[in-house]
Structure 1
Amino acid sequence: MEKSRDMLRDMSGKLANGAIVNLVDEVGGVVIHEEGLPMNVPVDMSISFLSSTLVGDELEITSRLLGSKRGYSGTIVLLKNKATGELIAEGRHSLFGRHNSKM
């Protein structure tokens, strides 16, 4: 278990930016996922890193759909330190998926 936690840390022991990027990608994609259909493909991602947090800190992660049109969808993902309420990162995620109608 300790080895997997080490992979999430940067050189200063904080949660690595790559781990935050992965969270934005996964959580942003889940917001628009429909059961039984393939996952949408990420097209663009923009992340503002506003603060840092330790690997063991509990995070509050929220996400919502910003809009969707012709197969393109946009989501926003916020990562906060649950204990302090401090905003760690804000990510905007654009995805594309054209799924055939079941009708």
Structure 2
Amino acid sequence: MKNAAKRMGLVALPILSLMVAAASGLAAAQDGRQTVENVCNRCHTHEPICQNLNRNEAWWHMTALRMINNGAPISQNQAKDAAIFLATLKPGSEPVCK
């Protein structure tokens, strides 16, 4: 019985870890969407953002850090969340390409 419980725990732990990771990724994407809508769009129209939706997370993160260096009022965490959000979008996606 103890071995069965131990095996069950060994199976459940990775599944739980994946669920937590997925939930945190979803939260980051939601926060990133809010950052893009409320902060990035203060200075940028949808067009340049939409034109770069084929970029990866690292590119978006470097771009957001460059914006911080230029005075954008966002935190490092907001920059990362925005990068995660934008990297998940396909070209032409809403709400970015309205």
Please report the TM-score for the alignment, with normalisation by the length of structure 2: 0.30
Larger-gyration structure (1/2): 2
Task: Judging by fraction of residues, say which structure has more strand.
Answer: 1
Say which structure is richer in helix.
2
The answer to which structure, 1 or 2, has the higher relative contact order (CA under 8 A, 6+ apart) is 2
TM-score (normalizing by structure 1)? 0.29
